[in-house]
């Protein structure tokens, strides 16, 4: 399921890249192309800021994971409680890592889109 979510994120970002590429290539005049490129740049900038903010959130989750592991060893509970806590922490770690990977994929495609838009604005 994790790899399916990676594939979906890749395909949706690729579809957005293709949409931007074809829309910038089929616009006739330079002024219209520059306006479309500027609007796409604004949208890509907002999405990039959002993706970068998720890394702050993931860093906070990572700190909580470490604290949970540290406190789990001190609690002195039974073996069933320890194993269930370890399973929950492992699930959180896996979801955090998957979210980070998806954010990296988003940033990669947004970077490509930004370069494409700047190239279409600079060239005539």
**pLDDT averaged over consecutive 10-residue blocks of the chain (124 residues)?**
92 96 91 93 95 91 82 66 76 88 95 94 86
Report the SS3 class of residue 78. coil
Domain count, the chain: 1
Q: What confidence score (pLDDT) does residue 26 get?
A: 92
Asked if 105 and 10 count as a contact pair (C-beta separation under 8 A), the reply is yes
pTM of structure: 0.82
Q: What confidence score (pLDDT) does residue 73 get?
A: 65
Asked if 59 and 68 count as a contact pair (C-beta separation under 8 A), the reply is no
**Domain housing 114:** 2-122
């Amino acid at each position: 399921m994790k790899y399916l979510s990676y594939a979906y994120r890749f395909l949706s970002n690729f579809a957005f890249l293709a949409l931007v590429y074809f829309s910038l290539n089929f616009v006739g005049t330079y002024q219209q192309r520059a306006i479309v490129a500027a609007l796409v740049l604004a949208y890509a900038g907002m999405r990039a800021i959002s993706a970068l903010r998720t890394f702050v959130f993931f860093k906070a989750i990572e700190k909580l994971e470490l604290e949970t592991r540290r406190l789990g060893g001190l609690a002195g509970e039974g073996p069933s409680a320890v194993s269930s806590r370890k399973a929950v922490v492992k699930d959180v770690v896996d979801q955090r890592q998957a979210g980070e990977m998806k954010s990296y994929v988003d940033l990669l495609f947004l970077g490509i889109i930004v370069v494409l838009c700047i190239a279409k604005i600079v060239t005539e």
